[in-house]
Amino acid sequence: MSQPLTLLSEEEQLFYDTVREFARESIAPLAGPMDQAGELDPSIRPQLFEMGLMGIEIPEEHGGAGCSFFMSILAIEALSTADPAVAVVVDVQNTLVINAFLRWGSEDLKQRYLPRLAESKVGAYALSEAGSGSDAFALAARATQDGEDWILNGQKLWITNAREADAFIVFANVDPEAGYKGITAFIVDRDMPGFTVGKKEDKLGIRASSTCELVLKDCRVPSANILGEVGKGYKVAIETLNEGRIGIGSQMVGLAAGALSYTKDYVNERKQFGRPISSFQGLQFQIAQAETDLEAARLMVYNAARLKDAGRDFLKEAAMAKLFSSQVAQRVSSLCVDLLGGYGFTKEYPIEKFFRDAKIGSIYEGTSNMQLATIAKKVLG
């Protein structure tokens, strides 16, 4: 059963409940096997598209649902209660890829790509490299103009959705002497000559979500596939990642909610000393604190998403939401392992997976230290 959520309209609550029920019935039974195999079950991708979850903000005229950013956040949270690895597929598609197309794409790019992204095609966002993580603009990938085309060379690492993706937003520098002002965003199709999806990482958590390297060797990309303007890729990256952080915050909230939901059922059934362990005040207080932390994190994520939809500044709020929700997810999932005892330490139960999945929240789309730096800059001037 879905729990009632704070400050949701009737339509939003129904949407959340529908997605969470889908996650419970169709994703949760596959979460363990997918984690072990390190890949999505073939049945998952078409179901995500059939439910409209891969094109939530795409306008109806382009085949999408025409909904708000906030609805994307609700979908990510609901999916994460069953499997954060599936949720991040939806997260990257909506908060990074589609948002970038909507804000920066030419009409030609929107007409060519948005219907495909809404119907069946997965997108990926390729910024990170071996030498550019927190220093996101230290890119080694290069783009050289050749007539009406650009020739891309370089390597990208840690690219989510890479194995499944059909279209990639790839960042490369067209003028290294200009520094970050040479960075440009290109749309690269999977079948373009010179483009290869390389090694898939063997990860601690969110294992069903693919994370791979990309190799570009004299990859020819037409000028029509530039997202935004030449030399403006840094703006595409910054503004898109600000929105993506809210998505990760939502993923962490859903993860904590899923772990807590399972644990509450367990402690009500598990008996020691002749009574359910949920009757012991020491355990009750731990659950109460975890629920309080979870609700605070949820409110921060929702607030940042509402600000984004209202067209107001949300940079600080997004950083705070991602920072705090990732902390909460790690604390709560660790507590849940403790409360299940030996069962929490085995792969037979889902809690150890939530615990492993939670760690990525403080790393990707901006580490916790980078969020603190952003917050400090905003509050101290």
Q: What pLDDT is recorded for position 5?
A: 60
Q: Check whether residue 375 and residue 244 sit in a common domain.
A: yes
- Cα–Cα distance between 144 and 151 in angstroms, integer? 5
Q: What pLDDT is recorded for position 1?
A: 45
The answer as to whether 282 is a domain residue is yes
**β-strand partners of 200:** 212
Domain boundary (93, 122, 151) is at: 122
Q: Check whether residue 35 and residue 63 sit in a common domain.
A: yes
CA distances 227 to 34, 117, 166, 169, Å, are 34, 16, 16, 8
Domain boundary (232, 249, 269) is at: 232
- CB count, 10 Å around CB of 312? 9
- Cα–Cα distance between 195 and 188 in angstroms, integer? 8
Residue 155 belongs to what domain range? 124-232
Q: Check whether residue 362 and residue 257 sit in a common domain.
A: yes
Q: What pLDDT is recorded for position 134?
A: 83
- Cα–Cα distance between 147 and 1 in angstroms, integer? 58
Pick the closest to residue 167 from 218, 130, 128, 221 (CA basis). Answer: 221
Choose, from 57, 164, 352, 365, the residue flagged as catalytic.
Answer: 365
CA 286, 291, 294, 300 torsion-angle sign: negative
The answer as to whether 5 is a domain residue is no
Domain with residue 283: its CATH number is: 1.20.140.10
| pTM for the full predicted model | 0.96
Judge whether 11 counts as a catalytic residue: no
Q: Check whether residue 200 and residue 178 sit in a common domain.
A: yes
99: three-class secondary structure by DSSP: helix
Dihedral in degrees, nearest 10, Cα atoms 255, 31, 266, 21: 70
Q: Check whether residue 224 and residue 239 sit in a common domain.
A: no
* Burial (Cβ within 10 Å: 0-12, 13-18, ≥19) of residue 155: middle
Domain with residue 167: its CATH number is: 2.40.110.10
CA distances 268 to 50, 142, 170, 288, 337, Å, are 37, 58, 49, 14, 15
The structural domain count of the chain equals 3
The answer as to whether 347 is a domain residue is yes
Domain with residue 63: its CATH number is: 1.10.540.10
The answer as to whether 3 is a domain residue is no
Q: What share of the chain is helix, strand, coil (3-state, %, to 5)?
A: 55, 15, 25
Q: Check whether residue 227 and residue 312 sit in a common domain.
A: no
Domain boundary (210, 232, 254) is at: 232
Q: Residue 351 in contact with residue 337, Cβ under 8 Å? A: yes
pLDDT along the chain (381 residues), means of 10: 70 97 98 98 98 98 97 98 98 98 97 98 96 85 97 97 98 95 97 97 98 98 97 94 96 98 97 96 98 98 98 97 98 98 96 98 96 97 84
Q: Check whether residue 133 and residue 224 sit in a common domain.
A: yes
The answer as to whether 291 is a domain residue is yes
Q: Check whether residue 171 and residue 262 sit in a common domain.
A: no
Q: Check whether residue 17 and residue 60 sit in a common domain.
A: yes
The answer as to whether 283 is a domain residue is yes
The answer as to whether 1 is a domain residue is no
- Cα–Cα distance between 134 and 322 in angstroms, integer? 15
Structure tokens at 97: 């890829």
Distance of CA 40 to the CA centre of its chain: 15
Q: Check whether residue 223 and residue 343 sit in a common domain.
A: no
The answer as to whether 25 is a domain residue is yes
Q: Check whether residue 183 and residue 206 sit in a common domain.
A: yes
Q: Residue 185 in contact with residue 236, Cβ under 8 Å? A: yes
Q: What pLDDT is recorded for position 381?
A: 84
Pick the closest to residue 214 from 313, 129, 134 (CA basis). Answer: 129
Q: Check whether residue 209 and residue 246 sit in a common domain.
A: no
